[in-house]
Amino acid sequence: MTRLFGTDGIRGEAGKFPLNAATVETIGASLVTHLKNRLGRPPLIVIGRDTRESGESLEHALLSGIARVGGKSKTAGIITTPGVAFLARTLPADAGIVISASHNPYQDNGIKIFSPSGRKLDEATERLIEADVSASETQLKKDHVTQFESDDDDQVGTAGLRNRYVEYLAEEVGRGLLLNGIRMVVDCANGAASDIAPHLFERLGASVTSINAKPDGRNINLESGSLHTNNLQNEVLKQKAHLGVAVDGDADRSLFVNSNGQLVNGDATLWVLANYMQARRQLRQNMVVATVMSNIGLEVAFRSKGIELVRTNVGDKFVLDELLRIGATLGGEQSGHIIFPDLSFAGDGLITTLCLLRALVEEGKSLRELTSGFETFPQILVNVDVKQKRPFEEVESIKDTTTKIEQELGSKGRLLLRYSGTEPLARVMIEGESQQQIEKLANELADVIRNTLGRKRSQT
């Protein structure tokens, strides 16, 4: 059976399997069939997409598949990924589907499915959909799509659905937040937030300069947004703005820029938000959830405040799972996915921005002042070619060297040793107070791995 779903849904090149129209139609039909069997009635699916030129045809394919097996549908048109998660939860709908490849270039697209809670679809249903696609994979590559007519007798227009989400952001998340006097630059990545974000912050009183807010179907994420912040940093300085915010194509993440033009990543954002929430007794358990990629400097800074950093594997899905398991109220990734489970189970760049702005306004401090106390520790990453991926703990010399390094680093450093998921590589990542020290230790461990598991290179 072909595995389609990763930790962030299905993603690939638009127009090619599995992101060709016929396969996407089958995915829609399969989801509705399994939901109908579970619910005993026709399910309602809400759909949204980002600004990629392939989005409209894939949306049509989904609607075809849903209608073909008797499902009901509503479409919000162009809307952020967390916007669809919100609609799935509040319409209420039986599932929400986002057509987006997030921060990827326009040639790619993807399918992400949310349950009515706003969480990502359960793995059991994902496997059932994969089985249905696999059963007819040869036929699907012919890319024929059924024609359909929507029979949604309770039609809510696309603008109406988007407005529900914007009202929630402005009136619930942003309740009482007055941004008068705040100058901000918003980089919309030519994506799903291009219309929503500037109007939202202006509605709350901010003076907004928008950049990369004119999508043409092919410029989504193009040298813009949260992966390319140079233009935003320059524009913040040019406009003498208090801060800048960059979202990605589907606006489920956000990074920030302070008034000096310096980048504020997800780790620094977690630091600001955790301090704000702790001071107001909103940081349950005095815990913050982050991934193994968050810098050791964040852990050290949190320790000084009596806050425990709980780490998970990379992926906002794992962050959310841990947040719900321990009952914490804040988590996120260095890349800018921040989750407030009391507000949304999806990472939402606009919610994050509103919460950060509230901290600025209520504390009466600049973003630069709020990030003080957190220092990023030096980091080094060394990749080692390996001929086999044996568990590291089974190789005595690697195990012994790892233990020695961890003891030397103590509480002011961190070693992360793992294999690449896609290449024959061992990755040695070390963080610590001294660049010279971590380089020495990383190369020492890399040499041990090379001598025991390394790929032998041919001599010429």
Catalytic residues: 102
- Are 252 and 245 within 8 A, CB to CB? no
Provide the greatest CA pair distance for the chain.
73
Cα–Cα dist 79/47, whole Å: 9
HSE (side-chain half, CA atoms, 13 Å) at 233: 13
Closest to 248 in 3D by CA, of 54, 110, 370: 110
At residue 38, what are phi and psi to the nearest 5 degrees? -80, -40
Q: How many residues belong to the chain?
A: 460
Percentage helix, strand, coil for the chain under 3-state DSSP, each rounded to 5: 40, 20, 40
- Are 284 and 304 within 8 A, CB to CB? no
CB-based burial, 9-30: b 16+ in 10 Å, e otherwise: bbbbbbeebbbbbbbbbbbbbb
Angle at 271 between CA 212 and CA 174, to 5 degrees: 55
